[in-house]
Amino acid sequence: MSETEEKRREYLADSIQVLEGIEAVRKRPAMYIGDVGEKGLHHLVYEVVDNSIDEAMVGHCSRIDVIINEDGSLTVIDDGRGIPVDYHEKEKRSALEVVMTVLHAGGKFDKQSYKVSGGLHGVGVSCVNALSSYLIAEVHRDGEIYMQEYRHGRPAEKVKSTGKTDKTGTIITFVPDPTIFAVTEFNYEILASRLRELAFLNKGITLSITDKREQEENGNGNNGGGYRHESFHSQEGLREFVKFLDMTRDSITDDIMHIDTEKNDIPVEIALQYNTSFKENIHTYVNNICTIEGGTHLAGFRRGLTRTLKNYAEKSGLLSKLKFDISGDDFREGLTAIIAIKVQEPQFEGQTKTKLGNSEVMGAVDQATSTLLTNYLEENPKDARTIVQKVVQAATARHAARKARELVQRKNLLSGSGLPGKLADCSSQDPATNELFLVEGDSAGGTAKQGRDRRFQAVLPLRGKILNVEKAMQHKIFENDEIKNIFTALGVTIGTDEDTKQLNLEKLRYHKIIIMTDADVDGSHIDTLIMTFFFRHMLELIQKGHLYIAAPPLYLIKKGKTIRYCWKEEERDRIIEEIGKGSTSGIQIQRYKGLGEMSAEQLWETTMNPENRLLKQITIESAAEADRIFSMLMGDEVPPRRDFIEKHAKYANLDI
């Protein structure tokens, strides 16, 4: 065999492997990007952006621009070094083609220069390529512009040089494959909040987003084109992140505590502040990934915080009058903190693979926390006193709350089954199929009770607006009747271990909990109150996908014997046109404002029957952002709330 023939065969053999790799991703996309829904779709963008962030982490990139194009494709532009394009001996093709088509090739070339690599699944741009019906990569490097196009992850041409440039960087534009993704429409809000988060986590970089699909109505976008646009840049990193999260809360200290250090070769950055609220609000990140389930870094932080503050409080004699123990929890009431670390080989565990397992991390974060607090307390004796007083207050309130809770649980034991009197339970004993409807008001509750399928659907009417848990003290929450009813109906308890307050979902009696309220402003407010309650006190239940919102129809359209329901204005107009053919306006249109306007049959048909209904599952995209929005919507300050509502009004169902 001649040498060229041998090379040709090696090339072909490699090509087959590449194609097999691409096919593997296309066959089991969920294994690589989590799912093929909205989450997976946005994951594609994060994957590309993560590569640009990697460039920034080694000091070669300062700008990342994300553009949602008019045709629905998406472009990521960075000013990094540009993906290498030189001929790759081993793979017998251009390095660009290798990076874009070989699984896990991303870091192959220059592993040393990348300290750590981001990405929850860390699957690389080749995965994005494999899941795109079309992708074009443009590289500016060594004075030349190079390009290559791909279809379904396969090169459509050789890498070509198309002109000269004086810049460096990479531009990737892709169209998510509609045969793979259930949704292919990018969501501006989801992307913007991730880019904002990345700007805080990587100070100094500018990240921007532009939506070219729709022109801003009043043209106040600052990019000149009148497109919806935001740009994120943080000079102070986590310090600004904490400021941003606590925008609507009142801090009790002068300054935000902040440390950016390295302990045992692990980069650790922490920022924290105490505020007047009662909430613990800690968010942790590993290599820019939000670790919702916590892990060793969180454990290290808690340990460091408790030990250092306790030592200080004891030494200062402020605890001498206290008659009961202080628990770890008490040190975290009203605490907002961000912990961001970098780990070479992170081990992710837990339900959603967002719990850090690396044991070496615990000590590093503990030490960093201890250094931070020791210094701050020494230098700011006034703040130190205020914090300790707050801790003592928390311990006192916790004591009162426990008493109230114990009283409730004892009462439940005395009242037979312990189920709330208002609950209309279902007959099935199988939680997996059972559903609980939380319904606004006794009247709608009555209709729901009549309309439901009592075999697997239970109804719990709630009295108007439930308690705003964002503003209430702990013990008030557990004394509140509606909240007690929700806890007992669900069969969920909170562990007695004050340190962990572990939610016990083992006895959860319904796997679908469905909030059903009127389609008006009051209804949305009640939805928000109930979601806030679940977010603050049963987060795990949301994370496991148990919480839903029912969507009652907005209109009923009637002509003779034909009856149609619809949920959107456009749908209404289409239906009117459709059934109006022949003779118009014998048509009756009814706008539903409340559940009470529907008969039990109608409610079943449109909103409760699993065959026809529309349920919105509540997910937590970004816990930090969700937390900020909840505290803003439910907190005391009016102006930020009004801004938010005005900004989002066009996406909400206004009551007209």
| Residue closer to ligand 0RA (CB basis): 109 or 244 | 109
Binding track over 38-57 against ligand 0RA, x by CB under 6 A? ----------x--xx--x--
Question: Closer CB to ligand 0RA, residue 95 or residue 598?
Answer: 95
The single-letter DSSP state of residue 317 is T
Q: Is 125 in the site for ligand 0RA (CB under 6 A)?
A: yes
Sole binder of ligand 0RA in the list 21, 29, 40, 106 (CB under 6 A): 106
The reply to whether 83 sits near ligand 0RA by the rule CB under 6 A is yes
Choose which of 84, 350, 363, 491 interacts with ligand 0RA (CB under 6 A): 84
Q: Any contact of residue 109 with ligand 0RA (CB under 6 A)? A: yes
- Please, how many CA atoms are within 13 Å of residue 205, restricted to the half-sphere of its CB? 29
Q: Is 119 in the site for ligand 0RA (CB under 6 A)?
A: no
Task: Output the DSSP codes for 558-626.
Answer: EETTEEEEESSHHHHHHHHHHHHSSS-SS-EEEE--SGGGS-HHHHIIIII-TTT--EEE---S-HHHH
Rg (CA), the chain: 28
CB-closest chain residue to ligand 0RA: 51
Question: Helix 238-245 vs helix 188-201: angle between axes, to the nearest 10 degrees?
Answer: 130
Interface with ligand 0RA, residue 124, by CB under 6 A: no
Residue 355 contacts ligand 0RA per CB under 6 A: no
Taken in order 196, 200, 202, 207, the sign of the CA dihedral is: positive
Least distance in angstroms from the C-beta of 168 to ligand 0RA: 9
Task: Give me the residue label for tokens 């699909």.
Answer: 213
Provide, rounded to whole angstroms, the least separation between the CB of residue 80 and ligand 0RA: 4
Sheet strands (E) in 345-431: 348-349, 355-356
Sequence-ordered alpha helix ranges (H) in 202-277: 238-245
Output 111 or 382, the one with its CB closest to ligand 0RA.
Answer: 111
Is residue 110 a contact point for ligand 0RA (CB under 6 A)?
A: yes
What six digits make up the tokens of 161? 């040089």
Q: Which is nearer to ligand 0RA, 76 or 595 (CB)?
A: 76
Nearer to ligand 0RA, 159 or 362 (CB): 159
Catalytic residues: 440, 518, 520, 522
The dihedral built from the CA positions of residue 620, 625, 630 and 633, taken in this order, carries a sign that is negative
Side-chain half-sphere of 87: how many Cα atoms within 13 Å?
Answer: 3
Strand order in the sheet with 457-462: 457-462, 435-440, 512-516, 547-550, 615-617
| Residue 94 within binding range of ligand 0RA, rule CB under 6 A | no
Nearer to ligand 0RA, 125 or 245 (CB): 125
In the complex, the smallest distance separating the C-beta of residue 15 from ligand 0RA, rounded to whole angstroms, is 20
Residue 130 touching ligand 0RA (CB under 6 A):
no
* Nearest to ligand 0RA of 61, 483 (CB atom): 61
Minimum CB distance to ligand 0RA, residue 232 (Å): 18
**Toward ligand 0RA, which CB reaches closer, 170 or 434?**
170
Q: At what angle do helices 623-634 and 638-648 cross, to 10 degrees?
A: 120
Give bridge partners of residue 151 from the DSSP assignment.
154
Question: Tokens 């308690």 identify what position?
Answer: 467
At closest approach, how far in Å is the CB of 286 from ligand 0RA? 21
Helices 381-414 & 360-379 angle (0-180, nearest 10): 120
Q: Is 363 in the site for ligand 0RA (CB under 6 A)?
A: no
Decide: is 80 part of the binding site for ligand 0RA (CB under 6 A). Answer: yes
Rounded to 5 degrees, what are φ and ψ at 350? Answer: 85, 175
> How many residues interact with ligand 0RA (rule CB under 6 A)?
16
Q: Which of 337, 322, 471 is nearest to 388 (CA)?
A: 322
State which of residues 170, 358, 457, 607 lies at the interface with ligand 0RA (CB under 6 A): 170
Q: How far apart are CA 625 and CA 455, in angstroms?
A: 39
Q: Give the interface with ligand 0RA as residue ranges (CB under 6 A).
A: 48, 51-52, 55, 78, 80-81, 83-84, 99, 106, 109-110, 125, 170, 172
